[in-house]
């Protein structure tokens, strides 16, 4: 009913539009054409109308020319926005959106996994809204969208909004990332482009294809007007491999290897010689697999006259991944065969030799599928000289299904010799000659886990926007509109494990179960570590779940969905906004800006289960339903003061929100009763349907100085205060006269982020000869961020936020040749906490730097060959427990990739 009513309204608008006066259909162009006839003041108003839509752009169309154009657009923009744009299809040297964004000031990308980075932080916050052509986007039952699923060849541009205005979709205290795809009216006439490249990864040892094709055309009819059609297709395959070596937690032991009592999370003295601080284990993870990403974009446009235009957009992204994380684990606290060696001046063990160490390997095989669909119908109309109207209806569907099969294998080695840190920050281990890690003999099955999850999200959305050009005092024009959205999310999952008797099965008695890891495993730090080991075949695990269930568990068919992991949420959001575009002269200077207010009401209907044990000890699931309503007022003010045309000041003040994740709102509560005489308090876990959105008050002050052709320096100070920060808390609750320790997410804290962004772009103008092709673009960001507990007032660093980050790009372009070398760097940051051992609990990542390169040569007007490389110095990742010598933790090796390709365009 909702879709039918929206479609009827849109058809009515289309039919009515033919009675509108003849005027330019494209909003930006028409605005400039009309206002140019109204004199100097109206012309200034026209520029502001365009500046509201324009963004700071880094084009890839002749490096110097495009970067110079970026600065011109930056000068004309009121909002604080950074963008990356590819006018010529396929020219972005990056593989996906996340890789392209890592060079933007204030943006940090998350830790790489499965051969890529998939998350983005804007000024320290990952609470970011992703929109596609201005429409809120999500994956399955989450609120977020995986930007890595969009290949760079599908992009017209990506806009990073660091400030919010009232006409933008709410939901991201970190900011908004808008992905723009191509439309046929973007081109003058016919357009055809084909891009192909092969990529080699030095760790997976595979060559992978990356293809894209765009076909676009536009034509005119004297009666019906202008038409356009565009089809953009892309396919990317990636064989990935990540290699990680890790150290286990630290515990106190006597000199003969006997474990001593300890308090979890308490860091013991490193100088007390009455005990030894010894790692309990050492291990590795060899992650490998193959990932496919098909994408398609269809866009149709129609302009029946000069006062109206319409579009139909259909966008699809797919994700298919089949891979395995093969774990290697061995105990290092087995019976010592020699005295421990220690780090100088401490009781922390640096070197241990043991006999009969327990060895476990585990295949954690997974298969994931995601399909995202977005369909939108919209139009723009010029009602009269002073009034424009735009409207759109869209429907989004996202489906996700995942299979997870985990099987542990174990054996016993003869002896081990381990160095927990040889000075490189990476542990190493060797085994005696009687241990063959590639042999299928004497390998037994351990615990088996069989899991599956599925989730689905849909959204039906309408929005309408009016722009009214009627000056009133310092107000030059007005904008107001509405948006209504119905969002449904549903998720189910289960995981079952094997019985104890599964540990008694010799693994090679199950034909086809065993295999070896790919081999050649290495930390890259000159350490000694097993290069290959026996593991369960991931394809066998995924393709033979029925056999494994009947052999290793009590299930003969597929298990039922777990009610504690079910949620079904319906959310209706209604938003109204009003916005005034401002302009005034102050002597010989000018001041313009935007003042607005967005009012948002959210109604949610949450369904799940509460699970409790009955008097017989059996779990009983009871349906639960909770309804909530909240209203938020989101004001914003952006001002730009032009002291001169080359020197500008910008100020922003705004309020933004981020709604809780749907999984956090899941009202399900699982309770486990206490055990008399053993565990005095029960335990419980669940979501919290009463969570409120996080609210952030934001301030920005920026200055930009444009001192030459394509050259500028700029700086921005920013400050954010966030209330109702969502944290995971554990509290005691009495339910049916029984006390439980219940863990739930709560609005229980505050956070603050403040910092500085600096940028410089410089093309020297008086260099001799061939040196004139050089230019540089650099940025630096400083962030001071912390969270504060609402109960204790205690401050903690925010996770995944580096205080310092920087990016530098050296470009050279002369004639038909162009090249770019870029480096990104971030300082150390807090990864998380671990309170299981006797070492410090904070996990700190070391500074990271990655260097990429791209080159191209234009063979003909239509054909260009390209050569790209990523992570050319083979840099990786390391972290530690507050002391990188005594308590080193993970070492991860990342691939270097080389790509050779071509672009053909006509």
Residue 774 has pLDDT above 60, yes or no: yes
Residue 74 has pLDDT above 70, yes or no: no
Mean pLDDT in residue range 126-149: 90
Please tell me which residue, 96 or 629, carries the higher pLDDT value.
629
DSSP 470: -
Condensed to tens digits (0 to 9), the pLDDT of residues 723-762 reads: 988 887 777 778 777 888 888 888 877 889 999 999 999 9
Condensed to tens digits (0 to 9), the pLDDT of residues 524-555 reads: 444 588 999 999 999 999 999 999 988 888 88
Question: In angstroms, how far is CA 36 from the centroid of its own chain?
Answer: 43
- Which residues, 6+ apart, have CB-to-CB distance to 824 below 8 Å? 102, 103, 109, 805, 806, 807, 849, 850
The segment with the largest mean pLDDT, out of 29-33, 159-163, 526-530, is: 159-163
Q: What's the pLDDT at 772?
A: 82
Q: What's the pLDDT at 27?
A: 34
Q: Which contiguous run of DSSP H or E holds residue 723?
A: strand 711-735
Q: What's the pLDDT at 13?
A: 40
Nearest C-alpha neighbor of 244 from the set 207, 286, 293? 286
Percent of the chain with pLDDT over 90: 58
The helices-and-strands tally (H runs, E runs) of the chain is: 8, 44
Mean pLDDT in residue range 394-414: 95
Positive or negative: CA dihedral 765, 769, 771, 775:
positive
Mean pLDDT in residue range 111-119: 75
C-alpha 810/C-alpha 820 separation (Å) is: 6
Mean pLDDT in residue range 602-616: 79
Condensed to tens digits (0 to 9), the pLDDT of residues 811-840 reads: 898 888 989 899 999 999 999 888 888 999
Mean pLDDT in residue range 445-462: 94
Residue 609 has pLDDT above 90, yes or no: no
Residue 792 has pLDDT above 60, yes or no: yes
Coil, strand, or helix at residue 454?
Answer: strand
C-alpha 209/C-alpha 593 separation (Å) is: 47
Lowest mean pLDDT among 80-89, 99-108, 582-591, 849-858: 80-89
| Residue 16: φ, ψ to 5° | -70, -25
Positive or negative: CA dihedral 557, 563, 564, 569:
positive
Coil, strand, or helix at residue 638?
Answer: strand
C-alpha 183/C-alpha 243 separation (Å) is: 41
Residue 60 has pLDDT above 60, yes or no: no
Q: What's the pLDDT at 29?
A: 33
Residue 292 has pLDDT above 60, yes or no: yes
89 confidence band (pLDDT: 50, 70, 90): low
Q: What's the pLDDT at 112?
A: 74
Residue 558 has pLDDT above 90, yes or no: no
Strand duo 250-253 + 120-122: pairing: unpaired
Q: What's the pLDDT at 435?
A: 93
Residue 4 has pLDDT above 60, yes or no: no
DSSP 785-808: EEEEETTT--EEEPBT--SEEEEE
C-alpha 608/C-alpha 621 separation (Å) is: 9
Condensed to tens digits (0 to 9), the pLDDT of residues 493-534 reads: 998 888 665 667 899 999 999 999 999 898 544 458 899 999
Mean pLDDT in residue range 343-353: 96
Query: What are the C-alpha distances in Å from 209 to residues 115, 149, 160, 242, 467?
Result: 15, 16, 29, 20, 46
Half-sphere exposure of 698 (CA within 13 A, CB side): 30
> CA angle at residue 301 from 295 to 302, to 5 degrees?
165
669 confidence band (pLDDT: 50, 70, 90): confident
- Which residues, 6+ apart, have CB-to-CB distance to 171 below 8 Å? 129, 136, 143, 657, 658, 659
Mean pLDDT of all residues belonging to the chain = 86
Residue pair 84/101 in contact by the 8 Å Cβ criterion: yes
Please tell me which residue, 717 or 663, carries the higher pLDDT value.
717
617 confidence band (pLDDT: 50, 70, 90): low
3-state helix, strand, coil in the chain (%, to 5): 10, 55, 30
Question: Which segments of 127-275 are extended strands (E)?
Answer: 128-132, 135-136, 155-161, 175-181, 191-201, 207-221, 225-247, 250-253
Residue pair 193/213 in contact by the 8 Å Cβ criterion: yes
pTM: 0.87
C-alpha 150/C-alpha 141 separation (Å) is: 19
318 confidence band (pLDDT: 50, 70, 90): very high
Q: What's the pLDDT at 155?
A: 83
Token couple for 857: 């040569």
Q: Which contiguous run of DSSP H or E holds residue 33?
A: helix 27-35
C-alpha 628/C-alpha 632 separation (Å) is: 13
The per-residue b/e assignment along 790-818, b for 16 or more CB within 10 angstroms, e otherwise, is beeeeeeebbbbbbebbbbbebbbeeeeb
Coil, strand, or helix at residue 21?
Answer: coil
Write down all domains in the chain, each with its CATH number in brackets.
Answer: 2-905 (2.40.170.20)
Nearest C-alpha neighbor of 585 from the set 38, 50, 49, 45? 45
Residue pair 18/308 in contact by the 8 Å Cβ criterion: yes
Q: What's the pLDDT at 280?
A: 93
Residue 12 has pLDDT above 50, yes or no: no
Mean pLDDT in residue range 637-666: 92
Residue 198 has pLDDT above 70, yes or no: yes
683 confidence band (pLDDT: 50, 70, 90): confident
- Which residues, 6+ apart, have CB-to-CB distance to 376 below 8 Å? 133, 135, 311, 312, 313, 314, 392, 393, 394, 395
Strand duo 155-161 + 877-880: pairing: unpaired
Residue 626 has pLDDT above 80, yes or no: yes
Which strands form 349-355's sheet, in the order they lie side by side? 341-342, 349-355, 415-419, 428-431
- Which residues, 6+ apart, have CB-to-CB distance to 242 below 8 Å? 112, 113, 114, 115, 203, 285, 286, 287, 288, 892, 893, 894, 895
Residue 301 has pLDDT above 50, yes or no: yes
Q: How many Cβ atoms from other residues are within 10 Å of residue 482's Cβ?
A: 15
């Amino acid at each position: 009913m909702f879709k039918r009513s929206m479609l009827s309204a849109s058809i009515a608008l289309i039919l009515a539009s033919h009675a509108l006066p003849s005027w330019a259909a494209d909003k930006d162009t028409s605005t400039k054409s009309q206002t140019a006839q109204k004199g100097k003041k109206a012309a200034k108003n026209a520029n502001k109308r365009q500046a509201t839509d324009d963004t700071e752009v880094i084009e890839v169309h002749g490096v110097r020319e495009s970067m110079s154009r970026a600065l011109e657009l930056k000068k004309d923009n009121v909002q604080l926005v950074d963008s990356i744009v590819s006018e010529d299809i396929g020219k972005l040297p990056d593989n996906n959106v996340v890789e392209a964004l890592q060079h933007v000031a204030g943006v940090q990308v998350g830790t790489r996994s499965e051969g890529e980075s998939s998350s983005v932080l804007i000024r320290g916050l990952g609470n970011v809204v992703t929109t596609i052509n201005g429409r809120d986007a999500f994956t399955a039952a989450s609120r977020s969208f995986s930007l890595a699923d969009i290949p760079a060849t599908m992009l017209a541009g990506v806009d990073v909004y660091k400030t919010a205005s009232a006409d933008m979709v709410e939901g991201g205290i970190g900011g908004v990332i808008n992905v723009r795809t191509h439309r046929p009216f973007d081109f003058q006439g016919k357009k055809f482009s084909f891009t192909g490249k092969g990529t080699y990864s030095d760790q997976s040892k595979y060559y992978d294809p990356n293809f894209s094709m765009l076909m676009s055309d536009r034509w005119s009819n004297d009666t019906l007007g202008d038409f356009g059609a565009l089809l953009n297709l892309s396919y990317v395959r990636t064989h990935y491999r990540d290699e990680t070596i890790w150290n286990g937690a630290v515990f106190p032991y006597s000199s003969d290897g006997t474990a001593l009592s300890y308090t979890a999370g308490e860091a013991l003295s490193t100088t007390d010689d009455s005990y030894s601080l010894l790692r309990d284990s050492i291990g590795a993870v060899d992650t490998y697999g193959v990932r496919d990403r098909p994408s398609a974009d269809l866009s149709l446009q129609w302009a029946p006259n000069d006062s109206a235009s319409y579009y139909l957009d259909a966008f699809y992204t797919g994700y298919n991944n089949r891979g395995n994380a093969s774990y290697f684990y061995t105990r290092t606290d087995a019976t010592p065969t020699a005295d421990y060696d220690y780090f100088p001046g401490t009781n922390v063990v640096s070197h241990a030799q043991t006999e009969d160490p327990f060895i476990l390997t585990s295949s954690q095989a997974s298969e994931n599928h995601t399909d995202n669909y977005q369909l939108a119908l919209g139009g723009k109309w010029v009602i009269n000289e002073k009034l424009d109207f735009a409207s759109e209806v869209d429907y989004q569907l996202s489906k996700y299904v995942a299979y997870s099969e985990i099987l542990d294998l174990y054996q016993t080695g003869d002896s081990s010799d381990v160095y927990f840190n040889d000075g490189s920050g990476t542990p190493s281990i060797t085994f005696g000659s009687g241990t063959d890690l590639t042999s299928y003999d004497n390998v037994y099955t351990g615990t088996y886990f069989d899991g599956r999850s599925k989730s689905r999200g849909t959204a039906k959305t309408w929005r309408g926007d009016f722009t009214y050009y009627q000056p009133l005092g310092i107000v030059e024009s007005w904008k107001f509109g509405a948006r209504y959205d119905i969002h449904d999310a549903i998720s189910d999952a289960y995981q079952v494990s094997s019985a104890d008797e599964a540990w008694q099965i010799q693994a090679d008695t199950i034909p086809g179960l065993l295999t070896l890891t790919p081999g050649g495993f290495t930390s890259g730090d000159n350490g000694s570590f097993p290069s290959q080991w026996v593991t369960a075949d991931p394809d066998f695990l995924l393709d033979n779940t029925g056999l494994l269930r009947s052999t290793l568990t009590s299930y003969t068919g597929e298990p039922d969905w777990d009610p504690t992991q079910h949620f079904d949420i319906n959310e209706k959001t209604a938003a109204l906004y009003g916005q005034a575009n401002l302009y005034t002269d102050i002597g010989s200077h000018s001041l313009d800006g935007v003042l607005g207010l967005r009012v948002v009401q959210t109604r949610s209907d949450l369904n799940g289960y509460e699970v409790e044990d009955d008097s017989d000890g059996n779990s009983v699931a009871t349906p639960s339903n909770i309804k909530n309503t909240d209203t938020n007022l989101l004001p914003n003010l952006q001002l730009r003061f032009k002291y001169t045309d080359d020197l500008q000041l910008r100020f922003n003040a705004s309020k933004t929100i981020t709604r809780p994740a749907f999984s956090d709102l899941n009202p399900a509560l699982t309770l486990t009763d206490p055990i008399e005489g053993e565990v005095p308090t029960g335990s419980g876990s669940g979501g919290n349907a009463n969570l409120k959105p996080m609210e952030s008050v934001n301030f920005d002050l920026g200055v930009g100085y444009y001192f030459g052709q394509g050259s500028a320096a700029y700086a921005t100070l920013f400050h954010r205060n966030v209330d109702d920060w969502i944290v995971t808390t554990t509290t005691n609750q009495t339910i049916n006269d029984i006390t439980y320790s219940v863990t739930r997410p709560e609005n229980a804290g505050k956070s603050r982020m403040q910092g500085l962004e600096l940028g410089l772009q410089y093309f020297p103008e008086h260099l001799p000869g061939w040196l004139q092709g050089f230019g540089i673009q650099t940025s630096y960001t400083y962030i001071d961020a912390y969270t504060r507990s609402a109960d204790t007032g205690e401050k903690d660093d925010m996770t995944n936020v580096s205080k310092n980050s920087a990016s530098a790009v050296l470009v050279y372009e002369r004639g038909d040749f162009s090249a770019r070398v870029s480096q990104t760097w971030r300082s150390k940051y807090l990864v998380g906490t671990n309170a299981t051992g006797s070492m410090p609990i904070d996990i700190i990542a070391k500074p990271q730097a990655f260097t990429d390169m791209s080159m191209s040569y234009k063979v003909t007007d239509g054909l260009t060959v390209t050569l790209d490389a990523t992570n050319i110095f083979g840099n990786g990742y390391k972290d530690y427990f507050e002391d990188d010598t005594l308590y080193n933790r993970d070492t991860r090796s990342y691939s270097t990739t080389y790509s050779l390709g071509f672009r053909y365009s006509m």
